[in-house]
Amino acid sequence: MPRLLVTLLSILVLAGCASLGQQEPLRVDLAGLDPMPSEGMEMRFAVKLRVLNPNDRAVGYDGVALNLEVNGQPLAYGVSDERGEVPRFGETVISVPVTISAFSMFRQAWGLSSKAPRQSLPYRLSGKLGGGPFGVERFNAEGELSLPPLVR
Protein backbone atom coordinates (compact mmCIF):
# COMPACT_ATOMS: atom_id res chain seq x y z
CA MET A 1 0.00 0.00 0.00
CA PRO A 2 2.75 2.60 0.82
CA ARG A 3 4.53 1.80 -2.45
CA LEU A 4 1.30 2.40 -4.41
CA LEU A 5 0.73 5.70 -2.58
CA VAL A 6 4.29 6.89 -3.34
CA THR A 7 3.91 5.90 -6.99
CA LEU A 8 0.59 7.78 -7.33
CA LEU A 9 2.03 10.88 -5.66
CA SER A 10 5.06 10.77 -7.96
CA ILE A 11 2.81 10.55 -11.02
CA LEU A 12 0.72 13.49 -9.80
CA VAL A 13 3.80 15.63 -9.17
CA LEU A 14 5.25 14.82 -12.60
CA ALA A 15 1.90 15.54 -14.27
CA GLY A 16 1.70 18.87 -12.44
CA CYS A 17 5.18 19.88 -13.56
CA ALA A 18 4.45 18.85 -17.14
CA SER A 19 1.25 20.91 -17.17
CA LEU A 20 3.25 24.07 -16.40
CA GLY A 21 5.13 23.55 -19.65
CA GLN A 22 7.28 26.12 -21.35
CA GLN A 23 5.65 29.48 -21.61
CA GLU A 24 6.45 31.71 -24.57
CA PRO A 25 7.68 35.18 -23.63
CA LEU A 26 5.26 38.09 -23.72
CA ARG A 27 5.66 40.49 -26.61
CA VAL A 28 5.77 44.15 -25.58
CA ASP A 29 5.62 47.00 -28.11
CA LEU A 30 5.64 50.77 -27.75
CA ALA A 31 2.08 51.81 -28.57
CA GLY A 32 2.26 55.54 -27.87
CA LEU A 33 3.63 58.50 -25.94
CA ASP A 34 1.21 61.03 -24.44
CA PRO A 35 2.45 64.26 -22.79
CA MET A 36 1.73 64.73 -19.07
CA PRO A 37 2.05 67.79 -16.82
CA SER A 38 5.73 68.39 -15.96
CA GLU A 39 7.58 70.20 -13.20
CA GLY A 40 10.80 72.16 -13.20
CA MET A 41 13.45 70.94 -15.59
CA GLU A 42 11.88 67.63 -16.51
CA MET A 43 9.37 66.33 -19.00
CA ARG A 44 6.77 63.65 -18.29
CA PHE A 45 5.02 61.30 -20.67
CA ALA A 46 2.63 58.40 -20.39
CA VAL A 47 4.26 55.53 -22.28
CA LYS A 48 1.66 53.13 -23.60
CA LEU A 49 2.82 49.54 -23.85
CA ARG A 50 0.90 46.96 -25.88
CA VAL A 51 1.45 43.59 -24.20
CA LEU A 52 0.59 40.47 -26.21
CA ASN A 53 0.27 37.06 -24.59
CA PRO A 54 0.81 34.14 -27.03
CA ASN A 55 0.13 31.54 -24.30
CA ASP A 56 -2.97 29.54 -23.43
CA ARG A 57 -3.09 30.87 -19.87
CA ALA A 58 -3.61 34.43 -18.66
CA VAL A 59 -0.64 36.30 -17.20
CA GLY A 60 -1.27 38.49 -14.17
CA TYR A 61 0.91 41.45 -13.24
CA ASP A 62 1.18 43.79 -10.27
CA GLY A 63 3.51 46.67 -11.09
CA VAL A 64 5.51 47.73 -14.13
CA ALA A 65 8.99 49.24 -14.49
CA LEU A 66 10.63 50.38 -17.71
CA ASN A 67 13.65 52.13 -19.21
CA LEU A 68 13.60 53.80 -22.60
CA GLU A 69 16.76 54.39 -24.64
CA VAL A 70 16.71 56.47 -27.80
CA ASN A 71 19.58 56.65 -30.26
CA GLY A 72 21.68 54.44 -27.96
CA GLN A 73 21.36 56.80 -24.98
CA PRO A 74 19.15 56.51 -21.85
CA LEU A 75 16.17 58.86 -22.19
CA ALA A 76 13.35 58.02 -19.79
CA TYR A 77 12.49 55.77 -16.89
CA GLY A 78 9.27 55.06 -15.06
CA VAL A 79 7.29 52.80 -12.78
CA SER A 80 3.61 52.13 -12.19
CA ASP A 81 1.75 50.19 -9.54
CA GLU A 82 -0.91 49.27 -12.10
CA ARG A 83 -2.18 45.72 -11.81
CA GLY A 84 -4.17 43.57 -14.13
CA GLU A 85 -4.09 40.57 -16.38
CA VAL A 86 -3.13 39.90 -19.98
CA PRO A 87 -5.74 37.40 -21.22
CA ARG A 88 -4.78 34.09 -22.82
CA PHE A 89 -4.04 34.62 -26.51
CA GLY A 90 -4.90 38.27 -25.94
CA GLU A 91 -3.48 41.70 -25.43
CA THR A 92 -3.77 44.72 -23.19
CA VAL A 93 -2.42 48.28 -23.13
CA ILE A 94 -0.60 49.43 -19.99
CA SER A 95 0.17 53.09 -19.33
CA VAL A 96 3.39 53.91 -17.44
CA PRO A 97 4.33 57.49 -16.50
CA VAL A 98 7.98 58.23 -17.33
CA THR A 99 10.31 61.10 -16.55
CA ILE A 100 12.88 62.65 -18.87
CA SER A 101 15.47 64.69 -17.02
CA ALA A 102 16.92 67.93 -18.38
CA PHE A 103 20.31 66.19 -18.66
CA SER A 104 18.80 63.40 -20.80
CA MET A 105 17.09 65.98 -23.06
CA PHE A 106 20.38 67.89 -23.44
CA ARG A 107 22.30 64.67 -24.24
CA GLN A 108 19.74 63.71 -26.93
CA ALA A 109 19.78 67.21 -28.47
CA TRP A 110 23.59 67.19 -28.50
CA GLY A 111 23.66 63.76 -30.15
CA LEU A 112 21.16 64.80 -32.82
CA SER A 113 22.98 68.05 -33.61
CA SER A 114 26.26 66.26 -34.23
CA LYS A 115 24.81 63.87 -36.82
CA ALA A 116 23.22 64.15 -40.23
CA PRO A 117 19.44 64.75 -40.21
CA ARG A 118 17.41 61.55 -39.89
CA GLN A 119 13.81 60.56 -40.43
CA SER A 120 13.76 58.08 -37.55
CA LEU A 121 15.62 57.21 -34.37
CA PRO A 122 16.23 53.73 -32.98
CA TYR A 123 14.75 53.00 -29.57
CA ARG A 124 15.17 50.21 -27.04
CA LEU A 125 12.62 49.51 -24.35
CA SER A 126 13.40 47.23 -21.42
CA GLY A 127 11.56 46.52 -18.22
CA LYS A 128 9.55 44.09 -16.18
CA LEU A 129 6.02 43.17 -15.23
CA GLY A 130 6.03 42.21 -11.57
CA GLY A 131 4.06 40.06 -9.22
CA GLY A 132 2.65 37.38 -11.52
CA PRO A 133 2.25 33.80 -10.37
CA PHE A 134 5.68 32.93 -11.81
CA GLY A 135 7.44 36.04 -10.47
CA VAL A 136 8.82 38.82 -12.63
CA GLU A 137 8.27 38.77 -16.39
CA ARG A 138 11.07 40.73 -18.12
CA PHE A 139 10.69 42.26 -21.56
CA ASN A 140 12.77 43.97 -24.26
CA ALA A 141 11.61 45.68 -27.41
CA GLU A 142 13.35 47.60 -30.18
CA GLY A 143 12.10 49.73 -33.02
CA GLU A 144 12.23 53.08 -34.77
CA LEU A 145 10.63 56.37 -33.71
CA SER A 146 9.52 58.36 -36.76
CA LEU A 147 10.43 62.02 -36.73
CA PRO A 148 8.29 64.73 -38.32
CA PRO A 149 9.65 66.01 -41.64
CA LEU A 150 12.05 68.95 -41.37
CA VAL A 151 10.70 72.30 -42.58
CA ARG A 152 13.07 74.02 -45.01
Q: What is the DSSP string of 128-145?
A: EEEEETTEEEEEEEEEEE
Rounded-to-integer distance, Cα 129 and Cα 43, Å: 24
Is pLDDT above 50 for 151? no
Q: What is the pLDDT of residues 28-59, one digit of tens each?
A: 998 988 999 988 889 999 999 999 999 998 98
Helix (H, G, I), strand (E, B) or coil at 39: coil
Burial of 110 (0-12, 13-18, 19+ CB in 10 A): exposed
Q: What is the pLDDT of residues 6-20, one digit of tens each?
A: 676 777 666 555 555
- Secondary structure element (H or E) that encloses residue 152, with its range: none
Is pLDDT above 80 for 1? no
pTM of the model: 0.73
Is pLDDT above 90 for 132? no
Q: Tell me the C-alpha to C-alpha distance, in Å, between residue 18 and each of 6, 23, 66, 118, 136.
A: 18, 12, 32, 50, 21
In sequence order, the 6+-apart residues with CB closer than 8 A to the CB of 23 are 55, 57, 134
